[in-house]
Amino acid sequence: MANYQITTTVLGVLFAAVILFLIRGDRLYLRLGLFWMAVALLAVLLGVWPRLLDNFADSLGIRYSPTLLLVCAVGVLFIKALHADMVNTRIERQVRRLHQSLALLQIKNQQAAPEKR
């Protein structure tokens, strides 16, 4: 096995271990952890069998297989960033509505307070 294969395999296994540690410590949701575990397993697979990428690239007509890997990585990161922005937008909308509801409740509470005296 070549040095780059060993390095990729070891990094994939370490990455998987870190993801499991984060999930177990409740620092990462399981749903998100599954995505990152798939990335780690892909790194291990490509480390053990680097010809998989070459064969897949050849079947798509791509002559330089690392190009396929980089294009796929950029695409996945783009989708991941877009998803994160969508989640942030939803959370910000919910927080804004919560603030509005809280302000209305405070106004009602202040209006009801003088009536009780």
Helix axes of 30-48 and 51-60: crossing angle, nearest 10 degrees:
90
Measure the CA–CA gap between 99 and 1, rounded to whole angstroms.
59
Check if the beta carbon of residue 80 is closer than 8 Å to that of residue 86.
no
pLDDT of 117 higher than 80: no
Q: Give the number of other CB atoms < 10 A from CB of residue 54.
A: 15
Query: 14-69 pLDDT, tens per residue?
Result: 999 999 999 999 999 998 999 999 999 999 999 999 999 999 999 999 999 999 99
pLDDT of residue 61: 95
pLDDT of residue 116: 66
> Both ends of the chain: CA-CA distance in Å?
83
What confidence category does residue 2 fall into, taking pLDDT thresholds of 50, 70 and 90? confident
Q: Where are the domains of the chain?
A: 2-112
Name the average pLDDT for the chain. Answer: 93
Q: Give the number of other CB atoms < 10 A from CB of residue 109.
A: 9
pLDDT of residue 44: 95
